[in-house]
Structure 1
Amino acid sequence: MTVLPRGTLLLAVGIVALEFAAAVTGFVASTLLPVVARDLAAGDRLGLLIAGSTLGLFVALPLASRVLGRLGTRGTLAAGMLAYVGGLAVAATAQGAWTFAVGQLCTGLASGLLAVFGMSSAIRHLDERLRLRVIAASSAMWIGPALVGPAATLGLDHLVGWRWTLLVPVPFVLFGRLLVVRAVRDDPPADAATRPLGRTLLVPLGAAGVVLSAGWCPLALAGAVVAAAGLVAILPAGTARLRPGTPAALAAMVLFAVGYFGADSLITVLLTTGYGAGLGRAAIVLSAAPLAWAVTSLFARRFPATGLSLAALGTAVLATGAPFAVVLAAWTAAGIGVGLAYPGLYVRATTAGPGGLTAIELATAVITAECVGQLLGRAIGGTLSSAGGLFASYVVFAVALAAAAAVSRR
């Protein structure tokens, strides 16, 4: 049996712990979304409610290396934690959609300050075999939250209200962040190149245009064009041309994130508003895909095209107004598809090809691809839903997943 160095073990455990924290955060946020939207009278501002944290994350990515160089590891950790806790406090006390979005923006900024730091170290210290094990363990971290998270969130909401319930993820996030930073605090930052500030900010600027368009098509289209231009500018050469290997895997990652995370962010709204289901039934569907993803990832890996095609089919069914049982089965199938696809897609995207990308460049590229996809998926979905196109948004998500399946074959 191989004994891992203490730092490597801490890093692996920290990454897995952060995945558990992400699962808790995701289920709390998704379960509470209809409640928050109703309480803040923000049914026509869904984009603000769901895209704020991802906007903050993407704004922070080009600043992370600058902050790390100026404040050092401890200072960056302190700044990140302060921004995270402060942002959650602002969101939990918000009286309107804009204040809530500002709080979520701050939590995203906090995540972005530390994201590249931990991911680049994972690529540097964990070989492919260990990375696959970490992915499998990380996927398993969604099982517990998927089984009890929505029900526990609804129970806490009834007991103490959504504002206090929103703070539940704090200890899990702090624990995971502390483990990762402790594991990599002695890493040399020599290869951490500063990211281009202007080009990187084109993406959140464009996404903000989509979110704030309020149904005005010229602004939404202009925002989409600006975001696309920023995406092409910051991802590695060949990504936009779908060059086989790492570039194509990164493009597939963007499309996957648009489709799956966009659909997941609105699933409770779709069930409660589009299907007229209660929050309890919506919570069951919410759990289905992440649970299926987690369980499938434990047993079957490296089937990107097949898995993404299945996810696209399952997501498309949600746009048909089918009976509740069919919707539940379809979203479960989508989760199984992601479980089949994601491990292999992730390894391909984080494996250096002939271009010779460094660990920090691979980390930046993978985080960028997922973040851009999440940001655009949530921005487009929130905007369409606020304009009355809730079912149409799921058609868009299904198309994005189908495109990801096609690209993943390259």
Structure 2
Amino acid sequence: MAPHLRATTIGSFALVFLGAFEALAVTTVMPAVSADLDGAAYYALAFSGTLAASVVGVVVAGRWSDRRGPVAPLLAATAIFLVGLIVAGSASTIEVFVVGRLLQGFGSGAINVALYVVVARLYPAVLHPRIFGAFAAAWVLPSMIGPPVAGWVAEQISWHWVFLGVAVLVLIAAALMLPAIRQITGSGAAAAGTAPAATEPAESAERSGPATSIASAESAEAPESSESAESAGATGSAAQAQPEQTGPGSLVSILLALVVAGAVLAISLAQQLPSPLDWTVAVVALIVAGVAARPLLPRRTLLAGRGLPATVLLRGLVAASFFAAEIYMPLMLHERDGLALSVSGLILTVGAISWAAGSHLQGRLGERFGSTAIARVGTALIAVGIVVQLLDALLALGPIVAAAGWLVAGAGMGTVFPRVATLALAYSTPRNQGFNSAALSIFDAASSATSIAIAGLLFALVGGTDSPFAYAAAFALSVVVIVLAQPVAARTAPPGAQR
């Protein structure tokens, strides 16, 4: 690898790594932030707002990169992410902290898209698998070390430095990217249209949880994925059986993403309103979000249409269930059981390791059992793991039981996500691969943000941290969502395919 590419690779890896570290670290340290800034009422918003902002970042950076090249989007996204870290790290009120989190969400979503375009336009095709594999590792590593390290920093120094420390490292990573930026700008490779498909993997890989790129890496590595609509006999016509859809224009897409993000923020902020106005606003905002998201998704997604629509819906439902549960588990273990933040972070690491293991195992299985069957098994594992969290909340079973349940849930996520990516690719043609990949990423983030926002409403309604049943209410929502995902998983198979 050429020297300038080596520095660029290190810088790109570092940016992805730091974005992943920050996303995972905040889950661990948020109980301390909430206690220090008296921010219990904004606890869910610190997560849902970030995810909602990332939807806008993904859409804006994708369209901007297609039209003008990746240099300007990458610089702007990195600057916004950096400002968000500084704002959150220096916050003395919860409102300022949330503003920082919104900036981080927009910046991180846009960075992932721009980086993948940089790879597509700067590196020779033969190096793409190695670079994308490095990006996958950049999510796996912080998922294993990030939570306990962030917990230790919060306990021994201050939670502020979980954000400020990352900000310093982002500056170094950005400096390493300068040779690539100069080469792209100097060669004119940033002109629009040089790599029209470059944003596709970025939009499908951008995620808000551990091992974001595992699904993309596994599906890219498995040769069977190119012929997987469910079995070899069904694949040939899988993509042809789905109606082609390329989505709305750039400006309309950005406006729709803004509406979705605004609606999610309205749901999150509804708990500040008196009853019954809070739930009225939440229901109206939920309807608005659904209407605005429809053009960004394959037709009949929200109706669980068989094939691609159900595949996209399944991705959103399992993400919504898992991540809503994930943010309340460390809070429960810290507040109720008195666990140190570093210890509760280790339980998140357990889930991250089992996620990686589940992803590897499903890749080894290939197409022996079919993607739909494997996705159904993974969905069932997530359900088991989250039911364990619900029982722990109701019966105070203890941290060991919570860790065991999260081990199972993580394995389920690692099993489902690569299969959803595989199915989506099988249902896609070169004409709509970008739209379908973006739909997976957008619906993943939007549904997770919505679920977290509604969980926050339920948590506050039942009594917040003062009530032992508040955690049960949040976990119960996750259980309902994952139960709804079970029949949807069965509909990911094309008509007539083996299930």
TM-score range, shorter chain: 0.7 to 0.9
Q: Residues 207, 48 of structure 1: CA spacing in aligned structure 2 closer, same or farther, 3 A cutoff?
A: same
Cα deviation for residue 392 of structure 1 reads 1.1
| Residue in structure 2 matching 1:391, options 467, 472, 491 | 472
Contact 1:61 1:112 in 2 (8 A): yes
Provide the C-alpha distance between the structure 2 equivalents of 1:135 and 1:306, rounded to a whole number of angstroms.
27
Q: Which of 266, 271, 286 is the aligned partner of 1:214?
A: 271
- Does structure 1 retain, via aligned residues, the 8 Å contact 2:383–2:409? yes
Q: 2:82, 2:170 within 8 Å by CA — same for their partners in 1? A: no
Residue correspondence of structure 1 range 133-282 to structure 2 within 5 A: 141-170=138-167, 171=169, 175=173, 178=177, 185=190, 188=194, 193-196=249-252, 197-214=254-271, 216-282=278-344
Partners of 2:28 and 2:151 within 8 A in 1:
yes
Maintained 8 Å contact 1:381/1:390: no
Structure having the higher Rg: 2
Q: After TM superposition, give the deviation of residue 273 of structure 1 in Å.
A: 2.8
Q: Are the counterparts in 2 of residues 84 and 108 from structure 1 also a CA contact under 8 Å?
A: yes
CA distance in 2, matches of 1:330, 1:254: 21
| CA distance, structure 1, for counterparts of residue 322 and residue 36 of structure 2 | 27
Contact 1:252/1:407, CA 8 A, preserved across alignment: yes
AA matched with 1:188: T
Which of 44, 49, 72 is the matching residue for 1:47? 44
CA–CA distance in 1 between the matches of 2:440 and 2:108?
Answer: 15
Task: Give the aligned partner of residue 332 of structure 1.
Answer: 407
CA distance in 2, matches of 1:31, 1:66: 33
- Displacement after TM superposition at 1:319 (Å): 1.2
What amino acid does structure 2 have at the position aligned with 1:283? G
Would the aligned equivalents of 1:201 and 1:230 in 2 still touch at CA under 8 Å?
no
Tell me, what secondary structure is at the counterpart of 1:95? coil
User: Contact 1:53–1:109 (CA<8 Å) still a contact in 2?
Assistant: yes
1:320 is paired with a residue of what secondary structure?
A: helix
* Map 1:101-112 → 2, pairs under 5 A: 101-112=98-109
* RMSD after superposition: 3.7
Q: 2:377 aligns with which of 292, 300, 306?
A: 306
CA distance, structure 1, for counterparts of residue 3 and residue 299 of structure 2: 36
Moved more, 85-94 or 302-311: 302-311
Residue 367 of structure 1 is aligned with which of 433, 441, 452? 441
Q: In the TM superposition, what whole-angstrom CA distance separates every residue of 1:87-136 from its partner, at most 9, and x where no partner exists? A: 11111111111111111111122223344445678899999xx87x9887
In 2, Cα distance between the equivalents of 1:169 and 1:346? 30
Give, as a single letter, the amino acid of the residue that structure 2 aligns with 1:84.
F
1:74–1:143 distance in 2 versus 1, CA, 3 Å: closer
In structure 1, C-alpha distance between the alignment counterparts of 2:387 and 2:107, rounded to whole Å: 34
Alpha-carbon distance, 1:241 to partner: 2.9
**Conserved 8 A contact 2:84-2:99:** yes
- Structure 2: tracts of 5 or more residues without a match: 200-248, 273-277, 364-370, 465-469, 492-499
Percent pairwise identity: 23
Residue 372 of structure 1 aligns with an amino acid whose one-letter code is A
**Kept in 2: contact 1:49–1:97 (CA 8 A):** no
Structure 1 stretches lacking a partner, 5+ long: none
Specify the SS of the correspondent of 2:270.
coil
Identify which of 95, 98, 111 aligns with 1:98.
95
Q: CA deviation at 1:374?
A: 2.3
Compute the displacement of 1:378 (Å).
2.3
Contact 2:70/2:115 (8 A) holds in 1: no
Compared with structure 1, are the counterparts of its residues 85 and 366 closer, same or farther at alpha carbon in structure 2 (3 Å cutoff)? same
Shift of 1:8: 11
Letter in 2 for 1:378: I
State the one-letter code of the partner of 1:281. V
- Per-residue CA shift, 1:359-382, capped at 9, x if unaligned? 432332122122112211322223
Cα separation, 2, equivalents of 1:30 and 1:386: 18
2:13–2:135: 8 Å Cα contact kept in structure 1? Answer: yes
User: d(CA) in 1 for partners of 2:4 and 2:303?
Assistant: 39
Whole-Å separation in 2 of the counterparts to 1:14 and 1:348: 32
Residue 20 (structure 1) shift? 3.5
Task: Check the 8 A contact 1:304/1:405 in 2, yes or no.
Answer: no
Partner residue of 1:409? 490
Whether the 8 Å contact between 1:257 and 1:370 is mirrored in structure 2 is yes
User: SS at the partner of 1:408?
Assistant: helix
Q: Is the 8 A contact 2:358 2:411 kept in 1?
A: yes
CA distance in 2, matches of 1:243, 1:372: 19
In 1, Cα distance between the equivalents of 2:300 and 2:41?
38
User: Structure 1 residue 293: deviation in Å?
Assistant: 0.3
Q: Is the 8 A contact 1:257 1:377 kept in 2?
A: no
Whether the aligned pair in 2 keeps the contact of 1:17 and 1:175 (CA below 8 Å) is yes
Q: What is the aligned length?
A: 403
| TM-score in terms of structure 1 length | 0.84
Aligned to 1:87: 84
- Paired residue type of 2:303: R
Quick one: structure 1 residues 400 and 328, their matched pair in 2 at CA, closer, same or farther if it must change by over 3 Å?
A: same
Residue identity matched to 2:260 = V
> What SS is found at the alignment partner of 2:265?
helix
CA contact (8 A) 2:270 2:282 kept: yes
Shift in Å at residue 36 of structure 1?
Answer: 0.5
Per-residue deviation at 1:306?
A: 0.3
What is the CA distance between 1:42 and its match in structure 2?
Answer: 0.5
Contact 1:23 1:142 in 2 (8 A): yes
Shift of 1:312: 1.2
